[in-house]
């Protein structure tokens, strides 16, 4: 990781990074990135921004591989690192924007083959077996594209056109030659060279396994080599941080009457995902029957090196499509937010954006709040009010833990959160202090006494 420190300059703090373009210690140069923070009273904040920036760069000053080749790397960085100030993001955009990666000629050829002819559907199983596995993956991705969500397609494409294609093209194996060892070697590479966590490697595994499973079902191959590997990546459960009842209520008091009130309220009271909170429209509210329907989502995805916003009339799964009771607290907040928007529209007139008017989470100009803004503003509010840092998504976990603390069963929490599988809800089971545990605690406290 690159080194650096915050330095005052023109009465503002800058992050001064040490880079070595020629790879030699003697060739050290400095890269200055503005933070926009006034020098007085902001040293600690500047140090925090420095610690956020350093992992984004290689020792030679280039962006780490995750952000290379993107048309606007600052957009993806803003999404991944919500705590970065706009001044730093603008500097990154100016220094690294409009970077266009040279496409691998072999990848270009494989893409053209798929674009110009649906040759594989007319070919024999033998021809498919003789196709390079990397080329088949390009074909597989375009075959399933109409059946998957846009953000899922963007994620798959990034992986297939990137590390998967590169590895298996260099390997040169055909579909019929792919062995479990080839796949295991790829996973080791992801872990050792790219330092990916097991959960990230599992995403690659899912793509490879599904692509081969189609061939196995069609009897093009006799078995699925991805099912035969001995060292399959293991899912690592994320241990979420969360707020307690007192912290949630204090947070809601801070954001009351602001554009962050509804997102925070939806996430903490209903346990909505960020995409679900932003997707709520006025036609999903039934004031007469006091019901709130979760059926729209707003997400972001990187497709063709561009970060795009995706608005869909669908949820993550059929279990996520759910009707919730419209409690008084939420109803009041929604009505007040609607009144604020009427005031903004009257004040701004033609400058007010009416295209997003059916959404509830809007800014003062009538624009739907951006997913990245929600995460970034959430971090800023927590820091400004000296709260422990948790992700915005952890408000959903906070909802679950508060319900669990009140004795609500995991099965009921599953329904409330819209989980598709009770196994997703079981992650909270270890937080439950049962009556039996309380009984044993009383016994042990009577046995062991500290004078």
Rounded to the nearest 5 percent, the helix, strand and coil shares of the chain are 55, 15, 35
Distance CA(226)–CA(238), nearest Å, equals 25
pLDDT-flagged residues of the chain (< 50) = 99-101, 120
Assigned token pair, 349? 């007139």
Architecture, CATH, for domain 105-227: Orthogonal Bundle (1.10)
- E strand map for 259-373: 285-286, 291-294, 297-303, 306-312, 322-325
Distance CA(19)–CA(127), nearest Å, equals 50
CATH fourth-level superfamily of 245-431: Intergrase catalytic core (1.10.443.10)
Distance CA(188)–CA(386), nearest Å, equals 41
90-106 confidence digits (pLDDT tens): 888 878 765 444 567 88
14-29 confidence digits (pLDDT tens): 999 988 876 566 567 8
Any idea where the domains of the chain sit in the sequence?
Answer: 3-96, 105-227, 245-431
* Other beta carbons less than 10 A from residue 205's beta carbon: 19
- Please give the pLDDT value at position 122: 54
Distance CA(233)–CA(247), nearest Å, equals 37
What DSSP element (H or E) covers 86?
helix 86-96
- Please give the pLDDT value at position 89: 86
Taking CA atoms, 5 is separated from 14, 43, 74, 260, in Å, by 8, 10, 21, 32
Assigned token pair, 21? 């373009």
- Please give the pLDDT value at position 372: 86
Q: Give the dihedral sign, CA 381/387/388/390.
A: negative
What lies within 8 Å, CB to CB, of 274 at 6+ separation is 263, 267, 371, 374, 375, 392, 393
- Please give the pLDDT value at position 150: 81
- Please give the pLDDT value at position 101: 47
Assigned token pair, 123? 């070919």
* Other beta carbons less than 10 A from residue 89's beta carbon: 20
302-315 confidence digits (pLDDT tens): 776 667 888 888 76
Residues in the chain: 451
Burial class (CB in 10 A: 0-12, 13-18, 19+), 27: exposed
Cβ pair 271, 377 in contact under 8 A: no
**Closest to 59 measured CA to CA, from 29, 95, 96, 19:** 19
Residue 238 phi, psi dihedral angles, 5° rounding: -80, 125
Residue 33 phi, psi dihedral angles, 5° rounding: -125, 120
Distance CA(165)–CA(133), nearest Å, equals 9
């Amino acid at each position: 990781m690159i080194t650096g420190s915050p330095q005052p300059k023109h009465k503002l703090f800058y992050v001064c990074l040490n880079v070595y373009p020629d790879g030699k210690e003697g060739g050290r140069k400095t890269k200055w990135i503005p933070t926009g923070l006034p020098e007085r009273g902001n040293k600690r904040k500047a140090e925090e921004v420095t610690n956020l920036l350093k992992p984004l760069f290689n020792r030679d000053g280039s962006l780490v591989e995750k952000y290379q080749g993107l048309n606007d790397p600052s957009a993806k960085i803003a999404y991944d690192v919500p705590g970065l100030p706009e001044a730093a993001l603008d500097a990154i955009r100016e220094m690294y924007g409009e970077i266009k990666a040279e496409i691998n000629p072999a990848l270009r050829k494989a893409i053209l083959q798929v674009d110009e002819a649906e040759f594989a559907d007319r070919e024999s199983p033998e021809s498919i077996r003789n196709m390079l596995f990397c080329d088949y993956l390009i074909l597989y991705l375009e075959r399933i594209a109409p059946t998957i969500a846009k953000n899922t397609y963007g994620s798959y494409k990034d992986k297939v056109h990137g590390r998967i294609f590169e590895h298996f093209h260099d390997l040169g194996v055909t579909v019929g030659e792919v062995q479990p060892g080839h796949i295991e070697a790829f996973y080791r590479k992801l872990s050792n060279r790219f330092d990916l966590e097991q959960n990230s490697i599992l995403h690659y595994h899912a793509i490879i396994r599904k692509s081969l499973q189609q061939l196995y079902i069609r009897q093009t191959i006799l078995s699925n080599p991805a099912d035969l590997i001995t060292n399959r990546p293991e899912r690592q459960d994320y241990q979420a941080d969360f707020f307690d009842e007192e912290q949630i209520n204090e947070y809601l008091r801070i954001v009351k009457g602001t554009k962050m009130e509804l997102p925070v309220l939806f996430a903490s009271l209903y346990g909505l995902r960020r995409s679900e909170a932003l997707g709520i429209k006025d036609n999903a509210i039934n004031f007469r029957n006091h019901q709130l329907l979760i059926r729209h989502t707003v997400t972001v995805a990187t497709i063709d090196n561009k970060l795009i916003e995706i608005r869909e009339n669908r949820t993550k799964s059929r279990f996520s499509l759910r009707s919730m009771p419209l409690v008084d607290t939420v109803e009041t907040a929604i009505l007040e937010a609607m009144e604020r928007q009427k005031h903004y529209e009257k004040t701004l007139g033609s400058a007010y954006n009416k295209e997003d008017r059916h959404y509830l989470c809007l800014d003062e100009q009538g624009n739907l709040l951006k997913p990245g803004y929600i995460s970034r503003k959430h971090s800023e509010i927590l820091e400004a009010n000296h709260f422990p840092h948790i992700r915005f998504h952890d408000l959903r976990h906070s909802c679950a833990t508060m319900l669990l603390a009140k004795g609500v069963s995991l099965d009921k929490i599953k329904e409330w959160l819209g989980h598709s599988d009770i196994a997703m809800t079981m992650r909270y089971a270890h937080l439950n202090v049962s009556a039996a545990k309380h009984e044993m605690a009383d016994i042990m406290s009577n046995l062991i006494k500290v004078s």
